[in-house]
Amino acid sequence: SPRARVVSGMRPTGALHLGHYHGALKNWLRLQATHDCFFFVADWHALTTHYEQREDLEKNVYDMVVDWLAAGIDPERVTLFIQSRMPEHAELFALLAMSTPTSWLERIPSYKDQIDKNRELATYGFLGYPLLQAADILIYKAAQVPVGEDQAAHVEVTREVARRFNRVYERPVFPEPQALLTETARLPGLDGHKMSKSAGNAVAMRDAPEVVEQKIRTMPTDPQRVRRVDAGDPARCPVWPLHRLYTDEATRAGLEQSCRSAGIGCLDCKQPLIEAIQREQAPWRERADDYLANPKQVHWILELGTERARAVARKTLREVRAAIGL
Ligand code: ADP
Ligand code: NA
């Protein structure tokens, strides 16, 4: 049987960090082995919350695609493209809007939360973004959508939109996609809080080895371990959750024991973590260097992906127009 189709997008917020890798990209790498993957740069979605930040957008798109490829996303197996090069998504978005009740969008929990926090988000585009997401997914008739727990409500809207369209126009145009719940680690940043670019606590996927070293060396540790001779407690140390992800159990057991007995200092403890991150990054940097030296190649990968995506999107749109009577 053919591989089940999966559609997923990422907003271009610039160079990706280790949180993006462990929280999203690693899952894409798994999926590309088993599924028919359509992965896209969701630049319109970036505009739903950052419509005024024009100047960075193009660079952010390019940097992110390079990060995907650097991580090992395989352009021969995966269809890669940029959302804004696919006006077909916008046409479907407009047509789906006709039969979608506004209340379905207004009741999404994240919508209310966010506009309460930031009135500038009270735009038509921000209200409509889950419907645009539905169009992104339905236009390829995705069987599955990989989502974290917090995005499950969006897939539910996509399913409702598909069901309603099929019923209103009396044609089974859209299959209802299944949420593919992905359990991913929430990677802590340099301050122990969730790693995020805006928090300034991130290690970028392509940070140079010496930058990684400097960032980890200056990380705070157990605040109660003031002097080298004080015993520490990994449970209080922001470095420890990173060790859990990056260091093998045996090494970790040794570090924990030496921390509790003040046998080693915090810099000693950080060293294997620094090396593990640098090891993880080495193949990324190597692949990224190839692509950065050859921007035309990135361009062609996206051209080819756009062409493949467009063929599918146009076919769906023909069915949609026929169903509506256009
Ligand atoms: P968006 O706001 O569009 O979700 P983000 O940059 O916050 O963009 O995240 C993109 C993807 O990376 C999401 O799947 C998100 O869950 C994941 N991600 C971001 N930061 C982390 C992190 N620190 N740990 C795990 N996953 C993360
Ligand atoms: Na986010």
Per-residue pLDDT tens over the stretch 254-269: 999 999 999 999 999 9
Question: Does residue 194 lie within any of the structural domains?
Answer: no
Q: Are residues 109 and 227 in the same domain?
A: no
Question: Does residue 117 lie within any of the structural domains?
Answer: yes
Annotated binding site for ATP: 11-13, 19-20, 148-150, 187, 194-198
Question: Does residue 160 lie within any of the structural domains?
Answer: yes
Q: How far is the CA of 64 from the centre of ligand 1 (A)?
A: 13
Total domains in the chain come to 2
- How much is the pLDDT for 226? 87
Lowest mean per-residue pLDDT among 7-11, 56-60, 86-90, 299-303 = 56-60
How far CA 70 is from CA of 75, 97, 258, 290, in Å, comes to: 11, 37, 36, 9
Question: Does residue 183 lie within any of the structural domains?
Answer: yes
- How much is the pLDDT for 2? 87
What CA–CA distance (Å, rounded) separates 271 from 254?
13
Indicate the pairing of strand 178-181 with strand 5-10. Answer: unpaired
Whether residue 69 has its Cβ less than 6 Å from ligand 1:
no
Whether residue 154 has its Cβ less than 6 Å from ligand 1:
no
Q: How far is the CA of 295 from the centre of ligand 1 (A)?
A: 26
What CA–CA distance (Å, rounded) separates 125 from 45?
9
Note the pLDDT tens digit of each residue in 14-57. Answer: 889 999 999 999 999 999 999 999 999 999 998 888 777 767 88
The yes-or-no verdict on residue 1 having pLDDT over 70 is: no
Q: How far is the CA of 196 from the centre of ligand 2 (A)?
A: 8
Whether residue 187 has its Cβ less than 6 Å from ligand 1:
yes
For atom 12 of ligand 1, the residue with the nearest CA is: 20
Question: 311: domain range?
Answer: 5-187+295-324
Ligand 1 atom showing the smallest separation from residue 189 Cα: 23
Q: Are residues 85 and 140 in the same domain?
A: yes
Q: How far is the CA of 211 from the centre of ligand 2 (A)?
A: 25
Annotated binding site for L-tryptophan: 136
| Nearest one of 319, 316, 315, 313 to 38, comparing CA atoms | 313
Q: Are residues 217 and 115 in the same domain?
A: no
Q: Are residues 283 and 310 in the same domain?
A: no
What CA–CA distance (Å, rounded) separates 18 from 203?
6
Mean pLDDT for 272-300 is 96
Identify whether the C-beta of residue 86 lies closer than 8 Å to the C-beta of residue 313.
Answer: yes
Whether residue 186 has its Cβ less than 6 Å from ligand 1:
yes
Note the pLDDT tens digit of each residue in 155-192. Answer: 999 999 999 999 999 999 999 999 998 877 789 999 98
Annotated binding site: 11-13, 19-20, 136, 148-150, 187, 194-198
Question: Does residue 195 lie within any of the structural domains?
Answer: no
Whether residue 13 has its Cβ less than 6 Å from ligand 1:
yes
Q: Assign residue 249 the CATH number of its domain.
A: 1.10.240.10
For atom 3 of ligand 1, the residue with the nearest CA is: 11
* H helix or E strand, kind and range, residue 245: helix 240-246
- The rounded percent of the chain whose pLDDT value lies above 70 is 99
Mean pLDDT for 201-217 is 97
Q: Are residues 169 and 70 in the same domain?
A: yes
For atom 21 of ligand 1, the residue with the nearest CA is: 19
Mean pLDDT for 277-285 is 97
Question: Does residue 68 lie within any of the structural domains?
Answer: yes
Looking at per-residue pLDDT, the higher value among 33 and 114 belongs to 33
| Nearest one of 147, 40, 32, 29 to 78, comparing CA atoms | 32
Q: Are residues 281 and 301 in the same domain?
A: no
Q: Assign residue 138 the CATH number of its domain.
A: 3.40.50.620
The yes-or-no verdict on residue 127 having pLDDT over 80 is: yes
Q: What residue type is assigned to position 267 of the chain?
A: L
Which residue among 20, 26, 155 is best mutated to probe the pocket of ligand 1, counting the most ligand atoms within 8 A of its Cβ?
A: 20
Mean pLDDT for 122-128 is 93
Q: Are residues 271 and 303 in the same domain?
A: no
Question: Does residue 16 lie within any of the structural domains?
Answer: yes
Mean pLDDT for 214-242 is 93
Q: What is the pTM of this model?
A: 0.93
Q: Are residues 136 and 218 in the same domain?
A: no
Q: Are residues 161 and 248 in the same domain?
A: no
Question: What 3-state class would DSSP assign to 201?
Answer: coil
| Nearest one of 24, 137, 36 to 77, comparing CA atoms | 36
Q: Are residues 225 and 104 in the same domain?
A: no
Mean pLDDT for 227-233 is 91
The yes-or-no verdict on residue 286 having pLDDT over 70 is: yes
Q: Are residues 122 and 243 in the same domain?
A: no
Q: Are residues 182 and 224 in the same domain?
A: no
Question: Does residue 227 lie within any of the structural domains?
Answer: yes
